[in-house]
Amino acid sequence: MANHKSTEKRIRQTAVRNERNKYYAKTMRNALKKLRGTSNKEEAGTMLPKLNSMLDKLVNKNVIHRKKASNLKSSLFKHVNTLQ
CATH of the domain at 29: 1.20.58.110
- Which structural domain range is residue 57 located in? 5-82
pTM: 0.83
pLDDT digits (tens, 9 = 90+) for 37-78: 999 999 999 999 999 999 999 999 999 999 999 999 999 999
Task: Supply the pLDDT for residue 2.
Answer: 83
Amino acid at 33: K
Q: Tell me the H-state helices in the chain.
A: 5-37, 41-60, 66-82
Contact 33, 50 (CB under 8 A): no
For the chain, what is the domain count? 1
Nearest to 59 by CA among 70, 50, 45, 47: 70
Contact 35, 79 (CB under 8 A): yes
